[in-house]
Structure formats: C-alpha cells, structure tokens
Amino acid sequence: MLTLPIEYYLTLSAVIFIIGTIGVLTRRNAIIIFMCIELMLNSVNLTLVAFSQYMGDMAGQIMVLLVMTVAAAEAAVGLAIVLALFRNKQTVYVDEVNVLKW
C-alpha cells in the first residue's frame, strides 16, 4: 500500500528539476550540462512513476521506459558530438565554441 501523500514525491521531483535547470544554465562544460539534462529527465520520471502508481494507470510507467530509451540514445549522440568537436578544437566548454557570430 502507498501511505505517503503524493505531493511528497511531486515536490521532490520539482526541486530536482529546478536544480537540473540551474545547472544547465550556469555550467560551461558540455558534459556536465548533459548530466544536468539527465537530472531533469530523471525528475520527470519520478513524477510519472508517482502519478502512475497513485492513479493505478500504466501509461506513466510505459512513458518512463520510453524516456529511458531516449536518454540512452541522447547519451550516445551527445557524447559523439562532443568527441567530434573535441577533435577539431580541443575544448568542451560551451563559451569557447563561438565561431557562429556574424
């Protein structure tokens, strides 16, 4: 049985989501930014699982599975992009990548 009120889970996930957002907006290292995005996606997963279990509806958990697949794919592509960039210019800091200014 679930005895805790659902707001506990929802509030925790909101807090983690905000922590992730702040990280994305403030850090310079592309890999850390990527990790912060993973934090955001994970907080959403927590919300989805909580809703799914409290409402007795499967859609939320299926959605979490899909999100995990997407997160894994994003990891592969994102790190490949970082590697390709690193080959041409030895940096992973987003503020040093700025050739596209008019």
Partner 1 sequence: MSLDLTFFIILAIMAAVSALMVILRKNPITSAMSLVLHFVSLAGLYLTLHAQFMAVIQMLVYAGAIMVLVVFVIMLLNLGREEKMAVRQSARAAIGIGASMVLGALLIWGLTQVMRPVAAGSSQAMVNGQIASVGKALFSTAYVFPFEMVSLVLLAAAVGAVVLTKRNLK
Partner 2 sequence: MTQTDLLAGLAIEIVSIFALIIMLTDALVERSTRLCETLSIVGLLGGLAASAYAHLTMPGQTAFNGMIVVGGMSTLYDAIFCGAGIMTVLLAREYLTRVGGMFDEFYTLLMMSIAGMMLMGHSADSMPMFVGLEVMSICFYVMAGLMRNKLSSNEAALKYFLLGAFASGFLLYGIALVYGSVGSTAYSAIAAKALSTQFPTLFWVGIGMMIIGLGFKVAAFPFHQWAPDVYHGAPTVVTGFMSTAGKAAAFSGFVGFIAPTMASGVPGLEKAKVILALLAVGSMLVGNITALAQTNVKRMLAYSSVAHAGYLMIGLAAGNAAGWTGITYYLVAYLFMQIGAFAVVGILERENGGNLTVDDYRGLARRRPGLALVMSLFMFSLTGIPPFAGFFGKYYLFNAAIQADLTWLAIVGVVSSVISVWFYLGLVVIMYFREPLGEMEGGEASISSRTALALSIIGTLLIGLIPQAIINIAAR
Number of residues located near partner 2, criterion CB under 8 A: 42
Is position 27 an interface residue for partner 1 (rule: CB under 8 A)? yes
In this chain, which of 41, 53, 68, 90 binds partner 2, going by CB under 8 A? 41
In the list 48, 53, 61, 90, the residue contacting partner 2 (rule: CB under 8 A) is 48
CA distance 57 to 66: 16
CA angle 99, 101, 102 (to 5 degrees): 130
Residue 47 near partner 2 by CB under 8 A: yes
